[in-house]
Structure 1
Amino acid sequence: MTATNSSCPVKQSEKALEGGAHMIQLRNKTASGSALYDWAVDIQKLCRIYGAIFIVNDRVDIALPSMPTVFILASKIFQPPARKLLGKNKILGMSISSSQKLKKQSGLDVNYVGLGHIYPTSSKQKTGRPLGISCITEVSRHLSIPVIAIGGITASNAGEVVRAGASGIAVISAVAEAPDPRKATSELIQNMQSCLQ
Structure 2
Amino acid sequence: MNAPPSPLPRLLLLTDRAQLAKGRGLSATVAECAAAGLGAVLVREHDLAPGAHAALVETLLAVPGLTVLTSRRPHPAAHGLHLAAHQPAPTTGRFGRSCHDAGELARAGAEGAAWATLSPYAASASKPGHGPPVDPGLARLPGAPPVWALGGIDATNAADALRHGAAGVAVMGAVMRAREPAAQVVDLLATLDQEGQR
Q: TM-score, normalised by structure 2?
A: 0.83
**Distance in 2, Cα, partners of 1:176 & 1:69:** 22
Contact 2:153/2:170 (8 A) holds in 1: yes
Q: In the TM superposition, what is the alpha-carbon distance from 1:144 to its structure 2 partner?
A: 5.3
Instruction: Please state if 1:43 is matched with 2:54.
Output: no
Contact 2:106/2:144 (8 A) holds in 1: no
**Distance in 1, Cα, partners of 2:94 & 2:190:** 26
**Distance in 2, Cα, partners of 1:145 & 1:189:** 22
**Distance in 2, Cα, partners of 1:145 & 1:76:** 17
Q: In the TM superposition, what is the alpha-carbon distance from 1:149 to its structure 2 partner?
A: 0.8
1:163 maps to what in 2? 163
CA gap 1:74/1:59 in 2 versus in 1, 3 angstroms:
same
**Distance in 2, Cα, partners of 1:176 & 1:105:** 28
Higher relative CO (Cα under 8 Å, sequence separation at least 6) belongs to 2
Tell me the SS of whatever aligns to 1:54.
Answer: strand
1:130-169 alignment runs, 5 A limit: 130-131=133-134, 135-143=135-143, 145-169=145-169
1:190 maps to what in 2? 190
Instruction: Please state if 1:13 is matched with 2:24.
Output: no
Structure 1 gap ranges (5+)? none
CA gap 1:136/1:38 in 2 versus in 1, 3 angstroms:
same
Tell me the SS of whatever aligns to 1:25.
Answer: strand
**Distance in 2, Cα, partners of 1:173 & 1:138:** 23
Deviations 1:153-172 (A, max 9, x none): 00111111111111011111
Instruction: Please state if 1:59 is matched with 2:73.
Output: yes
Question: After the TM superposition, which of the residue ranges 156-165 and 3-12 deviates more from structure 2?
Answer: 3-12
Q: In the TM superposition, what is the alpha-carbon distance from 1:56 to its structure 2 partner?
A: 0.8
**Distance in 1, Cα, partners of 2:184 & 2:139:** 28
Give the partner amino acid of 1:140.
R
**Which structure has more helix as a fraction of its residues?**
1
1:82-161 alignment runs, 5 A limit: 82=90, 84=91, 87=92, 90-103=93-106, 107-131=110-134, 135-143=135-143, 145-161=145-161
Q: Which runs of 4+ in 1 moved over 3 A?
A: 103-106
Structure 2 gap ranges (5+)? 1-11, 19-24
Tell me the SS of whatever aligns to 2:62.
Answer: helix
Deviations 1:21-56 (A, max 9, x none): 01111112211111111100001111xx1x121111
